C-alpha cells in the first residue's frame, strides 16, 4: 500500500487563485461551493504536466461558469514518500481514488469503484471537505480508525 499526505491550502476565491504563488504547483485540487461558513465539495481534479492556474482557466471555459454558486478552490500539495518519485500515474491514481471515495457531483469520470494501486491518503492542512484519512483498502481503514480512537 502506498501512503500519501496531501497538504491542503485554501480556500481561495477562484478568481484570485490563479494569481497566487501556490498556483504554480502540481497536485490535487478541490473546487467547492461556499455555503455560509462551510463548503460543499463540487469537483476533484489533478494537475501534473501543467499547474493549478492553467487548469482552473480551462475549467472556466468548460463547465465552471455554468454553475452559478460562489465557488472556492483548495490546492493540495502531494507529499511523495521518501524513496519514491513523483509521477503522473501516482497523482492521477490519488485523484481517481478521491473521486470514487467522495463522489463529487461535478466530476463526470471516475465515480465508479477505484481499481488502481492500494492507497492510503491523509489530508492535512486547511479545512477541505474531504475525509481526513481515506484508504482504498477498507479493512486497513477500519484498523487505522480503530487505532486512532484508542489514542
Could you report the per-residue pLDDT of 47-85, keeping only the tens digit for each?
988 878 888 777 665 666 677 788 888 999 999 888 888
Instruction: Read off the pLDDT band of 123 (50, 70, 90).
Output: very high
List the end-to-end C-alpha distance of the chain, in Å, as a whole number. Answer: 23
Note the pTM of the prediction, 2 decimals: 0.87
H-assigned helices in 20-51 = none
- At residue 113, the pLDDT reads 80
Comparing 96-100, 107-111, 143-147, which segment has the lowest mean pLDDT? 107-111
Domain limits of the chain? 2-150
Q: Vertex 74, ends 73 and 76: CA angle to 5°?
A: 145
- At residue 145, the pLDDT reads 77
H-assigned helices in the chain = 52-62, 88-102, 138-150
Overall residue count recorded for the chain in this entry: 151
| Higher pLDDT pick, 145 / 103 | 103
Q: Which CATH class is domain 2-150?
A: alpha beta
pLDDT, mean over the chain: 85
Can you read off the three cell numbers belonging to residue 55? Answer: 487548469
Amino acid at each position: 500500500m502506498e501512503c500519501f499526505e496531501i497538504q491542503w491550502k485554501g480556500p481561495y476565491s477562484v478568481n484570485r487563485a490563479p494569481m497566487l504563488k501556490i498556483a504554480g504547483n502540481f497536485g490535487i485540487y478541490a473546487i467547492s461551493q461556499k455555503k455560509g461558513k462551510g463548503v460543499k465539495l463540487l469537483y476533484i481534479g489533478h494537475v501534473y504536466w501543467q499547474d493549478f492556474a492553467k487548469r482552473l482557466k480551462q475549467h472556466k471555459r468548460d463547465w465552471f461558469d455554468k454553475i452559478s454558486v460562489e465557488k472556492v478552490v483548495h490546492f493540495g500539495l502531494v507529499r511523495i514518500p521518501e524513496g519514491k518519485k513523483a509521477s503522473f500515474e501516482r497523482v492521477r491514481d490519488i485523484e481517481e481514488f478521491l473521486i470514487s471515495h467522495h463522489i463529487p457531483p461535478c466530476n463526470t469520470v471516475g465515480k465508479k469503484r477505484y481499481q488502481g494501486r492500494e492507497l492510503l491518503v491523509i489530508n492535512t492542512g486547511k479545512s477541505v471537505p474531504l475525509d481526513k484519512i481515506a484508504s482504498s483498502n477498507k479493512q486497513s481503514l477500519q484498523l487505522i480508525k480503530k487505532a486512532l480512537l484508542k489514542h
